[in-house]
Structure 1
Amino acid sequence: MLLAGERIYLRPFEAGDAEVLLRLIKRNRNFWGKTEPEWQAGYYTFDGQLQNIRFFQEGIQKGLFYTFGIFNKKTHQLMGIINLYDIKGGPYQCGVVGYAIDRAQNGKGLATESLKLILSFAFDSLKLNRVSAEVMPRNNPSIRVLEKAGFQKEGFKKNNILIQGEWESHLQYGILKKDWAPFFEKKSSRN
């Protein structure tokens, strides 16, 4: 499974990615740690990432969640991670998206391009009706990414996740399938 964009592609992680994934995670530990829960020490080891990759593969096989590496199309360098998780079928047909871009690659539009690719996958391949995302109110770059991809602010979740020993609140964003295609048709006609 490969989702290709203009500058990047998304693909599931393979066992051979454990070392490069570990380097990405270690390099961004402090940067990503500002918005993520604390991970156990074993997370920052080769074996920890190999175990993570097996977990990611199992999730994809079962259709429960999809974790992709974000890779540069020309160099094949791993530049981030994007997840579509908490997928519900039946009357819900929804999922949640989360992403993390290497600090050295921030501000280059890679998160926006990744998000567009995974939304296309969610709506066109998985036939979801809705995708949501949560973001800290002070995380303005991530808010801009969501808004550029067509997400709309829907609400506020007070003290919903423990990060660095503090309960953090999040803004709730969402996008519906019916708003996805028209949003990009309008944007394309303006370009």
Structure 2
Amino acid sequence: MIALPFIRNNQGSLRGIRVCLREPSSGDYKAWANLRAESREFLSPWEPLWNEGDLERSSFRLRIRRYQEESQSGTGYPFFIFRNSDNRLVGGITLGNIRRGVAQSGQIGYWSGAPFAGQGYMTEAMGLIIPFAFDQLRLHRLEAACIPNNARSTRLLEKAGFQREGLLRSYLKINGMWQDHFLYSLLENDRRMINSKVAR
């Protein structure tokens, strides 16, 4: 797993070397809608079916409101990923479904715009959100799920130190079909072991 310096400032952002993770705002609508529209064919196999009005400004406003509610309640922390060199939106990553009590866990989900896939931006974003989850939120376990034939996502998770735990049968309805998913997890102790090996 790649360890990167990060700063979460008052604007709710995590800044790395090439990318910055920032909480979405209403002013991001145009960049978000354009990138999602441009990437529709690329993203469709890995996402739920898009509704007719998904890219409308009114839908985006509802999305932002939901993001704010999750962040305020501590159940989710959504981020847009911006490239530091030109402040261009390249994708999104979310730490969601946070459970406290005896669980202390959360789930990571992510998407990349088609023009920016395979350039390492998501790897760096993952390297920013993992320490945020463990060091600032004090979570114990992170989970992520991906469709078995999504080789790009599988490589991303394994590069970040996640371990495959098993197969979730008919787990999520993706692209109009119930699909199996691999379940991956990363524990706080896993990260410590990885970091200690890197330090050697």
Into which bin does the TM-score normalised by the smaller protein fall?
over 0.9
> Does residue 62 of structure 2 align to residue 51 of structure 1?
yes
Which residue of structure 1 lines up, in the alignment, with residue 190 of structure 2?
A: 179
Partner of 1:48, secondary structure, is helix
**Structure 2 residue corresponding to 1:116, chosen from 106, 109, 127:** 127
Q: CA deviation at 1:108?
A: 1.1
Q: Which has the higher contact order (CA 8 A, sep 6+)?
A: 2
Distance of 1:36 and 1:56 partners within structure 2? 18
- Tell me which amino acid in the other structure corresponds to 2:108: V
> Does residue 100 of structure 2 align to residue 89 of structure 1?
yes
Query: TM-score, normalization: structure 1?
Result: 0.94
Partner of 2:54, secondary structure, is helix
Distance of 2:196 and 2:157 partners within structure 1? 17
Which residue of structure 2 lines up, in the alignment, with residue 153 of structure 1?
A: 164
* Unaligned runs of at least 5 residues, structure 2: 1-11
The CA RMSD over aligned residues, in Å, is: 1.2
Moved over 4 A (4+): none
Distance of 1:29 and 1:171 partners within structure 2? 23
Is residue 82–residue 114 contact of structure 1 (8 Å, CA) maintained in 2? Answer: yes
Which residue of structure 2 lines up, in the alignment, with residue 64 of structure 1?
A: 75
- Tell me which amino acid in the other structure corresponds to 1:29: R
Q: CA deviation at 1:136?
A: 0.7
Q: Work out the percentage of aligned pairs sharing the same amino acid.
A: 37
* Unaligned runs of at least 5 residues, structure 1: none
- Tell me which amino acid in the other structure corresponds to 2:36: I
Summarize the alignment of residues 8-23 of structure 1 with structure 2, pairs less than 5 Å apart: 8-23=19-34
**23-32 or 118-127, which deviates more:** 23-32
Q: CA deviation at 1:188?
A: 5.4
Give the 3 Å change call, closer, same or farther, for CA 69–126 of structure 1 in structure 2: same
Q: CA deviation at 1:90?
A: 0.6
> Does residue 104 of structure 2 align to residue 103 of structure 1?
no
Query: TM-score, normalization: structure 2?
Result: 0.90
Give the 3 Å change call, closer, same or farther, for CA 83–62 of structure 1 in structure 2: same
Distance of 2:94 and 2:131 partners within structure 1? 13
